[in-house]
Every structure is written in structure tokens, then in C-alpha cells.
Amino acid sequence: MPELVFVYGTLKQGFPNFHLNRGRRVPGEFVTREAYPLYVVGDIRVPWLVDRPGSGHRVAGELYRVDADALALMDALEQVDEPGWYRRAAIEVEGRPAPGGEAVKAFVYFGCAERLDRIVVHAGPIAEYTEVLARSYRDGDFRAEAGLDRNRPHRDPAHLKQKGSKAWRSG
């Protein structure tokens, strides 16, 4: 059965990891029903949404219907099984520009809040991860910067690129 996933960062259409998004976009623009803090963090300048409802901003993003395989690919990119990375949780989102309408439940990826104490925050809290911010994004490993164990195997998102796929480039 298809699931809904709210994406706010590199998985959005036209952004660095969109080529890994196998979902079918739900028409329209969406925002989180509650405010959450969204940051751009680390040497790789990754978008990092923190599960602190009521702080930050109502975050803008896109909504996708995904099957089990597409969800598994997103989970792998977001490293949900790695300590200190992301975890998938359900939140409510609603259409924009008419907030206050009917909300739908969707999965979202929250970054580990404790990591903010150990990593450089370049921007935030912000309401939207924009194309301008995405131009500074780089694939990579920022475990050392975050004080995480560099000896644990790291699954760089580059391993997810399929042969023949084109990586996103700015400009």
C-alpha cells in the first residue's frame, strides 16, 4: 500500500538527491501543520529537520506517494538504521498557500537533535530549504565533525546512485 512522505530537502524535485526519489508527487505545495526547526548543518551542508514541535517555522516541502521499495530507498539514503542520523516519523502536513485546511498524515525524516550540539550550523532555523541553499550541498561523511564513530561502516549516499544516473549539479 502506498505511503505519503513529506520531503523538505535534497529529495525535492530539482534538488541534489531527487534522482533517488521514486515516489509520485502529489500536486501542490505543502507545509508542516506545526512549526519545526530546520537547519543546514555540517561540512556537507545537509538539511536537518529536528523533532521539536512548536519551535522554528512551519516548514515548506513536497508530498510524494511511495511504495515499499521507494520508501526503503529513502530510508537507506537517510540512514535510518545508523545512530545519530535520521529517523522516520509521522507528522501532519497541509496544503499551501491556504494553511488551516485539511491535514494529512505523512512520514518525514527528522535529524538527530543531539547532533546540533556537535556540528556546525550554517543556517537556521529556516522555513524552507531553497535552491540557493542546495547549491552548497555536498555528498559526504560528516561523522567526525559530529563526534560520531568513524570506524563504523558509513553508507555514503553515492552508493545509492544507479549506474547511468546523473548526479545533480548546480548551474
CATH number, residue 27 = 3.10.490.10
Q: What pLDDT, on a 0 to 100 scale, did the predictor assign at position 158?
A: 46
Residues 31-40: b if buried by 16+ CB within 10 A, e if exposed = bbbbbbbbbb
Range of the domain at 43: 3-160
pLDDT higher than 80, residue 88: yes
How far apart (Å, rounded) are the C-alpha atoms in residues 8 and 48? 9
pLDDT higher than 70, residue 8: yes
Does residue 108 belong to any structural domain of this protein?
Answer: yes
pLDDT higher than 70, residue 7: yes
pLDDT higher than 80, residue 105: yes
**For 20-52, how does the pLDDT look when each residue is reduced to its tens digit (9 = 90+)?**
999 999 999 999 999 999 999 998 899 999 999
| Annotation says 78 is catalytic | yes
Q: By C-alpha distance, which of 110, 127, 130 is closest to 15?
A: 130
How far apart (Å, rounded) are the C-alpha atoms in residues 14 and 54? 29
Does residue 25 belong to any structural domain of this protein?
Answer: yes
Does residue 119 belong to any structural domain of this protein?
Answer: yes
pLDDT higher than 50, residue 143: no
Q: Of the given ranges (63-67, 84-88, 142-146), which has the lowest mean pLDDT?
A: 142-146
Q: What pLDDT, on a 0 to 100 scale, did the predictor assign at position 98?
A: 66
Does residue 170 belong to any structural domain of this protein?
Answer: no
Tell me how many domains the chain contains. Answer: 1
Say if CB 4 and CB 88 are below 8 A apart.
no
Cell of 59: 516548514
Residues 63-88: b if buried by 16+ CB within 10 A, e if exposed = bbebeeebbebbbebbbeeeebbbee
Does residue 167 belong to any structural domain of this protein?
Answer: no
Band the pLDDT of 157: cuts 50, 70, 90.
Answer: very low
Given the residues 3, 62, 78, 94, the one annotated as active site: 78
Band the pLDDT of 140: cuts 50, 70, 90.
Answer: low
Q: What pLDDT, on a 0 to 100 scale, did the predictor assign at position 93?
A: 97
Q: What pLDDT, on a 0 to 100 scale, did the predictor assign at position 101?
A: 72
Does residue 14 belong to any structural domain of this protein?
Answer: yes
Q: What pLDDT, on a 0 to 100 scale, did the predictor assign at position 165?
A: 36
Does residue 166 belong to any structural domain of this protein?
Answer: no
Does residue 165 belong to any structural domain of this protein?
Answer: no
Say if CB 59 and CB 32 are below 8 A apart.
yes
